[in-house]
Amino acid sequence: MGTLSLSDYEDVRIWAPWGHIAGRWYGNRSERPILAIHGWLDNLGTFDRLIPLLPDYLGVLCIDLPGHGCSSWLPPGMHYSTMEYVLVIARVMKEYKWQRVSLMGHSLGGVLSYIYTALAPHTVDLVIALDILLPPLETPMALKYFGYALDKHLVEDERAEEDSLHEPPSYTLAQLRTVLSKGSNNSVAPEFAQHLLHRSVAKSQLYPEKFYFSRDGRTKYYNILPVNGPLAAEMAKRIKNKPYLVIKASKSHHINSKANEAISILSKQNPHFEYHEVPGTHHVHLISPELCAQYIVPFLRHHRPPTVSSWSVDGEKKLSTTEHRRQQENFFTRHLRRLSKL
CA distances from 98 to 124, 185, 266 (A): 10, 37, 26
Orientation angle between helical segments 82-96 and 108-119, nearest 10 degrees: 70
The pLDDT value given to residue 342: 39
Range scoring the smallest mean pLDDT among 62-76, 140-154, 240-254 = 140-154
151 pLDDT band, cuts 50/70/90, is confident
The pLDDT value given to residue 258: 93
For the structural domain made of 9-306, what CATH number should be given?
3.40.50.1820
Cα separation, 128 vs 36, in Å, equals: 9
The pLDDT value given to residue 324: 42
* Mean pLDDT, range 163-174, rounded to an integer: 85
The pLDDT value given to residue 39: 98
Every domain of the chain with CATH number 3.40.50.1820 lies at 9-306
Cα separation, 12 vs 63, in Å, equals: 9
- pLDDT over 70 (residue 172): yes
The pLDDT value given to residue 309: 59
pLDDT, tens only, 289-322: 999 999 999 999 999 999 865 544 444 344 444 4
Range scoring the smallest mean pLDDT among 25-34, 53-62, 118-127, 159-168 = 159-168
- pLDDT over 70 (residue 338): no
* Mean pLDDT, range 253-266, rounded to an integer: 96
Nearest to 109 by CA among 48, 55, 157, 39: 39
148 pLDDT band, cuts 50/70/90, is confident
Q: Is 107 marked active-site?
A: yes
Do the strands 273-278 and 244-249 form a parallel or antiparallel pair, or are they unpaired?
Answer: parallel
Identified catalytic residue from 71, 102, 107, 200? 107
The pLDDT value given to residue 313: 44
The pLDDT value given to residue 142: 79
Nearest to 276 by CA among 300, 302, 255, 261: 255
Question: Comparing 336 with 177, which gets the higher pLDDT?
Answer: 177
Residue 41's Cβ-count burial label (10 Å; 0-12, 13-18, 19+) is buried
DSSP state of 52: G
The pLDDT value given to residue 1: 67
Cα separation, 166 vs 209, in Å, equals: 18
This prediction has a pTM of: 0.88
Cα separation, 297 vs 50, in Å, equals: 11
DSSP for 254-275, please give it.
Answer: SS-GGGHHHHHHHHHH-TTEEE
Q: How large a percentage of the chain has pLDDT more than 70?
A: 89
Other C-beta atoms closer than 10 Å to the C-beta of 60 total: 24
pLDDT, tens only, 177-224: 999 999 999 999 999 999 999 999 999 999 989 999 999 999 999 999
- pLDDT over 50 (residue 83): yes
The pLDDT value given to residue 319: 42
